[in-house]
Structure 1
Amino acid sequence: MSSRSSADRYSQPAIFFHWAIFVLVALAYLAIEIRGPKGSDSRLLWTAVHQWAGSLVLTLAVLRLLWRLWHPGPPEINTNPLLAFLARLTHLALYLFIFVQPLLGILMVNTGGDPVTLAGLNLHIVLAGTDRAAHTAIKDAHELIGNAFYFVIGLHALAAIGHHLIFRDRTLRRIL
């Protein structure tokens, strides 16, 4: 049996969802960091990229969760109970992030008085009406969570590298 089809690995769709969401989150972060000054063409372009990436993250997150409900991951690797708890906690935080952050982004734009309009599609996403007080609170939450998740994503990546280089177990290889 090849290692790619082993019961000790994540399924191909699970691997696709993991890495596609990773690329889209990275793209969303890149877009927001380099978008340029207000009113510039650069800002309009990168804001559109950010909104597309966020919308696709949310879409894939729903599909990923549905897949996971019917196709559980491989058995956990025997490890220190504290490390196993921290891994589950980090994965829960990451799952919450890929759902909550795009929803907050949509709500932030909506409560600011606009629909989320995905460039190239005649699709306008509206989950809430204009509310300036809510807009400020949601914007602050979206930015705070976005900044906090640099740390959580980095911790997740470092843990995977640590499992591979220090513990020399199969944790990283199971998702590649």
Structure 2
Amino acid sequence: MMKDQFHIVIRLLHWLMALAIFTMLFVGAGMVSSVANRDWLYDLHKPLGITILVLAILRLVVRLSSRTPPLPSNMPLFMQLVAKLSHVLLYGLMLALPMIGWLMLSAGGYPVTLGGGIELPALVAKSNSLYAVLRPLHTLLAYSLLLLVLGHMAAALFHGLIRRDGVLRSITFGK
């Protein structure tokens, strides 16, 4: 591994999760805007959410146990703080959204099915009042994740195309 790149496992998980999260955001948008496709989108949304949760936990473990490339020394302190805060928020949302979704479905009395007859246990007892709180929270956090991901992409392009400081290259597979 080059010292200016993330560990290969982090890079693989980053791009796998990027694909999963984009898919999930589109599936989520389709679920709320389509009556005709709602059932199969829900059937995709649940296992994809659990997959994202598992990948996020794995990614966090690898991230905390490996070295990360330093930010460029000429990067302004404000940008460094925004980068660190945005990564904390990204990790937080990648963990919180699927957990809140699972809690929400449990509170609503809906099973979390992964396909092939696999059903996860409910995390809480059925509670209409808890479901009523968790459902809009899940939606709000999903929109927050979308905005954060768009900001993350804009920052990556800024570093790759304008600053050309190696930040984008640190998470890709090129030299």
What is the CA–CA distance in structure 2 between the aligned matches of 1:173 and 1:47, rounded to whole Å?
A: 36
Contact 1:112-1:132 at 8 Å conserved across structures = yes
Identity of aligned residues (%): 27
What is the CA–CA distance in structure 2 between the aligned matches of 1:14 and 1:145, rounded to whole Å?
A: 24
TM-score scaled by length of structure 2: 0.92
Q: Deviations over 1:97-135 (max 9, x none)?
A: 000000010011110012211122423232111010110
Amino acid at match of 1:74: P
Partner of 1:46 in structure 2? 41
Partner of 1:169 in structure 2? 165
Amino acid at match of 1:16: L
Q: How does 1:1-176 map to 2 (within 5 A)?
A: 5-35=1-31, 36-37=34-35, 40=36, 42-78=37-73, 79-176=75-172
Which runs of 5 or more structure 2 residues have no equivalent in the other structure? none
| RMSD between superposed Cα atoms in Å | 1.2
Contact 1:27-1:50 at 8 Å conserved across structures = no
What is the CA–CA distance in structure 2 between the aligned matches of 1:122 and 1:154, rounded to whole Å?
A: 34
Amino acid at match of 1:61: A
Q: Which has the higher contact order (CA 8 A, sep 6+)?
A: 2
Contact 1:28-1:51 at 8 Å conserved across structures = no
